[in-house]
Structure 1
Amino acid sequence: MNSNRVRAVLVAVTAVASVLGAPDQATAEPAARGGTQWKCGFYPTPGDPQGTTARYFHCAYNHIMIRVHWSNGASHLGCIEPWENHPFWRDGGNVVVNAYFVPVTPRVLIAPSGRRVCAASQPTG
């Protein structure tokens, strides 16, 4: 999957989530996640019943950018919200093999609800 296509998909998902009022990850305190098996950072999820191949869990109260690497050599930057547990799914024969924090400031907007959300357009780093 080329990086422009991945970027377009991430933009669409972010836009839909902000309009439909997705669960507010920014207020989901770690204590509210009691009993979960999530760990901070990137980790593969083989055999996940939801079908994900990997996740990136951001364990902090700020928005960050991560670089995502695919098994076909492609990569892209993505904005991650506070306490977001971001899933990655298979794209044909390709899977995400790594994702990590990069020191690039994400663009953040304030939704009508007052919630801070990742903007659809992000720096390319």
Structure 2
Amino acid sequence: MNLNTARALTATGMLLAATAVGMIDTSHNTASALSPRPCGFYSLNLPQGEQTGGYVHCGDSFILIRAHWDTGTTFTSCIPPWGSRPFYKDGAHKVVNAYYIPTRPNLSGPPGNQMCSTSQPRS
């Protein structure tokens, strides 16, 4: 193969690769589904299935969060170290905010292998 033919094939390959990359769908939904979530509460503008948002904990300790429904009611939830908690629709209602509260969560299990208990303080 001579040098001119090799250059032409290389240029053609680069053009095809650039065209293929340009055809990849990078819509907002796809990009947001692949990007990591920020620490704390997040809301999904377009629900992903039944999920409307969540909470991501970026720390080495168990924490308790308070979440608010759009009806005004609240609940608490324990989040493990570096854990997350998705929020899902409940009929027409959804969680609109969640934040850390300084109340110690209830834990179960032996030291070094603890997990969140099923019941948590309502503070």
Confirm or deny a common fold (TM above 0.5). Answer: yes
Task: Give 1:101's aligned residue.
Answer: 100
Unaligned segments of structure 1, at least 5 residues: 1-34
Give the whole-Å Cα distance in 2 for the aligned partners of 1:49 and 1:106: 29
**CA distance in 1 between partners of 2:68 and 2:89 (Å):** 13
- Per mean C-alpha deviation after superposition, the further-off stretch among 114-123 and 79-88 is 114-123
Shift of 1:56: 0.1
Runs of 4+ with deviation above 3 angstroms: 48-51
Q: Report the counterpart of residue 115 of structure 1 in structure 2.
A: 113
Once the 2 structures are TM-superposed, how far is the Cα of residue 48 of structure 1 from its aligned partner? 4.3
Compute the TM-score of the two structures, normalised by the length of structure 2: 0.66
Give the 5 Å matches for 1:45-60: 45-60=44-59
Deviations 1:72-124 (CA, angstroms, capped at 9, x unpaired): 1110111111111210001011100000000100111116xx62110112112
Once the two structures are superposed, residues 37-84 of structure 1 have per-residue CA deviations (whole angstroms, 9 ceiling, x without a partner) of 211000101224343101100001100000000001110111111111
| Larger RCO (CA under 8 A, 6+ residues apart) | 1
* 3-state SS of paired residue (1:43): strand
In the alignment, structure 2 segments of 5+ residues that lack a partner are 1-33
Aligned to 2:81: 82
Amino acid at match of 2:116: C
TM-score by structure 1 length? 0.65
Match of 2:41 in 1: 42
Change (3 A) 1:116 1:36: farther
